[in-house]
Amino acid sequence: MKLYRFLTGPDDASFCHKVTAALNKGWHLFGSPTYSYDAETKTMKCGQAVVKDVDGVEYDPGMKLGDQ
């Protein structure tokens, strides 16, 4: 099964740590990162898609993807 997640967060070190943690759990970057200005909070937001192949597991819409 192929899993997909879109990680988001503020444009700071916490976002980099979130992506790094996913990479160290076997996720792979998918496409380029995105950046967007949040006018309400007046901050930049980041996003990065990641994918992972998992054998022997059936997809279930209720599963927590980050646990895989």
- pLDDT, one tens digit per residue, over 1-42 is 999 999 999 999 999 999 999 999 999 999 999 999 999 999
**Residues comprising the chain, all counted:** 68
Q: Residue 54: phi, psi to the nearest 5?
A: -130, 120
3-state secondary structure of 42: coil
pLDDT computed for residue 46 by the predictor: 97
3-state secondary structure of 53: strand
CA atoms within 13 A on the CB side of 59: 7
CA distances from 14 to 2, 27, 45, 60 (A): 26, 17, 11, 29
